[in-house]
Amino acid sequence: MFMATVLFAQDKFGDQLIQRDGKVIVCQVREILDDEIKYIQQGFRDDVVFGIDKNKVASIVFSDGREMKLSDSMFGKENYTLQRKNALKFNFFSPLVDATAFSYERSLKPGSSMEIGVGIIGLGQNWDQYKDVSGLYFNVGYKFIKDPDFYLRGMRYAHVLKGAYFKPELAISSYSYTFHRSWGSYDPNGTETNATVGAFILNVGKQWVFGNSFLLDWYLGAGYGVSMSGDSGNARNFAFTGATGDSPLVVNAGFRIGFLY
């Protein structure tokens, strides 16, 4: 009789809550709610019910051997299945500085995304009638989207592409420019020069998403640049500003609009 009672107690309290920090709670699971797991433990009355935040539990191993994996509400991909993970963006003010820029962003997981961009140099407003420029620039960055400063049970991102972020970025700008000024007058032939400049930039910014369809994104950054070939002749390298012969410092800023799909 005593042995049967012991075996029954072992079976009754044979469930295990495997916590994310590696600790194990041996218990009997009573309820699995949206954000909490309720259970009873051996040595306490059956009407004493304990609770644990569901996000603290990595998995539940039941007494019959079955296992249930659990995801954090903040970072579990399945919590964002209805959200669009891709965005096409246009740098709204880029045509005003003699270039037109686009970028593509894809969410890799909650809190992280990859963004690549391309700019068509020469497609935009030319403010210098004596200077023609043409070329391309490219940039690629990994975005770390900030999570909340404090935790609430069941908290998650409003959208996987929304929020303040930090983005390290590599940029390269390759273009040719022709000066048509000669002795104060316009020279139709001009002098052509080529330049290729690269930079590593640390950006901070914030992105807003509206209705899972439209977004606004602003950013600013600073970093180091280097001339890879040729001579840019000035500090404006289209993908960024700076990296002159006097200083490797570069700065960057922009405002993008886009849509999600």
Read off the pLDDT of residues 162-190 as tens digits, 9 standing for 90 and up: 999 999 999 999 999 887 776 667 777 77
Residue type, 161: L
Q: Are 86 and 42 members of one domain?
A: no
Mean pLDDT of 150-161: 85
Whether residues 28 and 86 share a domain: the answer is: no
Q: Give tens-digit pLDDT for 228-247.
A: 887 765 788 999 999 987 88
Residue 127 or residue 5, greater confidence: 127
Predicted confidence at residue 10, as pLDDT, reads: 54
Q: Which domain holds residue 154?
A: 79-260
Do 88 and 197 lie in one domain? The reply is yes
User: Which are the contacts of 105, defined by CB distance < 8 A and separation ≥ 6?
Assistant: 86, 87, 89, 113, 114, 115, 143, 161, 258
Confidence of residue 3 (pLDDT cuts 50, 70, 90): very low
Based on the domain organization, do 40 and 66 belong to the same domain?
A: yes
pLDDT tens per residue across span 22-44: 999 999 999 999 899 999 999 99
20 and 138 housed in the same domain = no
What is the pLDDT at residue 190? 73
The predicted pLDDT at position 5 comes to: 45
Question: Would you say residue 6 has pLDDT above 80?
Answer: no
Instruction: Indicate whether 129 and 242 sit together in one domain.
Output: yes
231, two tokens: 């001579």
The reported pLDDT for the residue numbered 233 is 58
The answer to whether position 94 is within a domain reads yes
In which residue are the tokens 């003699």 written? 98
Indicate the burial class of 185 (C-beta count within 10 angstroms; 0-12, 13-18, 19 or more).
exposed
45 and 89 in a single domain? The answer is no
> In this predicted structure, what is the pLDDT of residue 220?
98
CATH of the domain at 242: 2.40.160.20
- Residues 119 and 206 both lie in one domain: yes
Within a domain: residue 88?
yes
Q: Are residues 39 and 111 in the same domain?
A: no
Does residue 258 carry a pLDDT above 90? Answer: yes
Residue 4 in domain: no
Same domain, 22 and 128: no
| Whether residue 209 has pLDDT greater than 80 | yes
Is the separation of the CB atoms in 250 and 199 below 8 Å?
yes
In a domain, 142, yes or no: yes
> What pLDDT score was predicted for residue 2?
42
Whether 179 is in a domain gets the answer yes
The CATH number for 32's domain is 2.30.30
What would the pLDDT profile of 78-131 be if each residue is shown by its tens digit?
889 999 999 999 999 999 989 999 999 999 999 999 999 999 999 988 877 667
**Where a domain ends, among 70, 100, 134?**
70
The pTM of the full predicted model, rounded to 2 decimals, is 0.83
The answer to whether the Cα torsion of 176, 136, 209, 217 is positive or negative is: negative
Label residue 51 left, alpha or beta by phi (over 0 means left) and psi (-120 to 50 means alpha).
beta
| Same domain as 27, residue 64 | yes
Domain count, the chain: 2
On whether the CB atoms of residues 82 and 260 are closer than 8 A, the answer is no
Choosing from 46, 70, 94, the residue where a domain stops is: 70
- Across-strand partners of 179? 131, 191
Residues 6+ apart with CB under 8 A from 217: 89, 205, 206, 207, 208, 255, 256, 257, 258
Do the domain assignments include residue 148?
yes
Task: Give residue 212's pLDDT.
Answer: 97
> What is the H or E stretch that residue 8 is in?
helix 2-12
Q: Is residue 181 a part of any domain in this protein? A: yes
With respect to residue 252, please indicate whether it lies within any of the assigned structural domains. yes
Burial of 75: CB neighbours in 10 Å, binned 0-12, 13-18, 19+: middle
Q: Which of 110, 197, 117 is nearest to 161 (CA)?
A: 110
Are both 84 and 157 inside the same structural domain? yes
Residue 255 in this model has a pLDDT that exceeds 80: yes
The token duo for 56 is: 């603290």
